[in-house]
Structure 1
Amino acid sequence: MFETVTTILDWIGVVAFTVSGALVASRKQMDIVGFALLGTATGIGGGTLRDVLLGLPVFWVHEPAYLATCVAVSAVVFFTAHIPHSRYKALLWLDAIGLALFAVTGAETAALAGANGIVAVAMGVVTATFGGIIRDLLGGEIPVILRREIYVTAALVGAAAFVLLTMVGAPREISTGIGFALGLAVRAAALQRGWSLPRYRPRPGRGDN
């Protein structure tokens, strides 16, 4: 049962990230091939890097339905991108949902592969953020990790909550739900309230007096 729920969450994350990538393509007025490229790279990019780093078979190579779904969803967005009142706002919220989902499913995949807790958290962050980074680089946008609002930290909170709860023996359904909820809540608060971590401020060195 839990594996079924995890798979469903993984699919939702792929679709959410794919749509966010295709929306960037719409903002850049790309053709349908550009939509497919940006949508697919965003939807499966993070999971691809995770599997390569863990030495696992790349998930979409063995399950081409992921790749086909990314292309199909991108094509749908090509014809419907004009519908949302604000494509940028839709992009940010879809990205937040994908981020929270992939933080948990990425950490879960790493844990099932035998990774320790720290590595599992790191793989959750990689899975959650790398697709968005690829999307922004290919689309000529400012990468999400360079923006002021909290982003990577939200993925870190979600993945860490999942791993910690799993380590103390919490049911996996609860670990997944809380990890997803916390990751999404932190990112949503950052979007709504402009939350950010303290930033480095230049100051004179010892020899500059």
Structure 2
Amino acid sequence: MTLIAFLDYTSVFIFALTGALVASRQQLDLVGFAFVACLTAVGGGTVRDVLLDRNPIFWIAQPAYIGVACAAALLVFVTAHLFESRLKALIWLDSFALAVAVPAGTGAAIAMGQPMPVVVLMGTITGCMGGLLRDVVLDDVPLVLRQGELYVTAAFAGSAAAAFAQPHFAGVLVPLMICAGVTWALRAGSLAFGWRLPVYKSRPPRS
């Protein structure tokens, strides 16, 4: 198994857990759990592969990804009641998924020899799109767009760090480790310490 495939499998599993946790908060049935888990798990990677013209798309080439997502959905279906705060578990699980998915997207773009701007965008899209689709479909406030939180910023910074580091190393392992570290550090800092970006506040018009 290649490093990129390992990252894809890991991000699929963790993102599927977050999707299933959202499904549990919405009190969906088992099919609903599986659908939301799969949408969350493969959404970002699917958009990445379509934009990069990777054929076939990763989960079509290896349907085992869908099996992993469904297994995660089943696991949450029978254990979600054990979580005292499903929202807290969801947010922290999502931060770990982000720190795996961003390197997966970044690494896929690097492996295809894409220029730096494309590498950064593919890492950001892979990390953010699945959660965005999950929240939009379930009519929830998208986690990636919550006021001032470092989510898209964390994904962008992590992917950019890998893109800048990659020319200085022989392989992609160290750059992708840097990517994961930067992404998770910023996201976790936002959750634990309230790190925020300034947000726009409208002012009343001058008379």
TM-score, normalised by the number of residues in structure 1: 0.92
Residue type at the aligned position of 2:28: M
What residue number does 1:11 align with? Answer: 9
Measure the CA separation in 2 of the matches of 1:120 and 1:5. 16
What residue number does 2:53 align with? Answer: 55
Matched residue pairs, number? 205
Local SS of the residue matching 2:50: helix
What residue number does 2:128 align with? Answer: 129
Contact 2:7 2:103 in 1 (8 A): no
TM-score, normalised by the number of residues in structure 2: 0.93
Structure 1 residues 88 and 101: alpha-carbon distance in aligned structure 2, compared to 1, 3 A threshold: same
Instruction: Give, in angstroms, the shift of residue 43 of structure 1.
Output: 0.4
Aligned runs of 1:56-205 on 2, under 5 Å? 56-57=54-55, 58-148=57-147, 149-169=149-169, 171-203=171-203
Instruction: Give, in angstroms, the shift of residue 138 of structure 1.
Output: 1.6
Residue type at the aligned position of 1:185: A
Instruction: Give, in angstroms, the shift of residue 77 of structure 1.
Output: 1.1
Measure the CA separation in 1 of the matches of 2:191 and 2:170. 30
What residue number does 1:21 align with? Answer: 19
Local SS of the residue matching 2:202: coil
Contact 2:166 2:172 in 1 (8 A): yes
What residue number does 1:44 align with? Answer: 42
Measure the CA separation in 2 of the matches of 1:7 and 1:116. 21
Local SS of the residue matching 1:69: helix
Residue type at the aligned position of 2:2: T
Measure the CA separation in 2 of the matches of 1:163 and 1:93. 26
Contact 2:102 2:126 in 1 (8 A): yes
Measure the CA separation in 1 of the matches of 2:4 and 2:108. 10
Measure the CA separation in 1 of the matches of 2:170 and 2:96. 23
Local SS of the residue matching 1:82: helix
Contact 2:4 2:108 in 1 (8 A): no
* Runs (5+) with no aligned partner, structure 2: none
Cα RMSD, aligned residues only: 1.6
Measure the CA separation in 1 of the matches of 2:144 and 2:91. 13
Local SS of the residue matching 1:81: helix
Instruction: Give, in angstroms, the shift of residue 39 of structure 1.
Output: 0.3
Q: Percent identity?
A: 42
Instruction: Give, in angstroms, the shift of residue 203 of structure 1.
Output: 4.0
* Runs (5+) with no aligned partner, structure 1: none
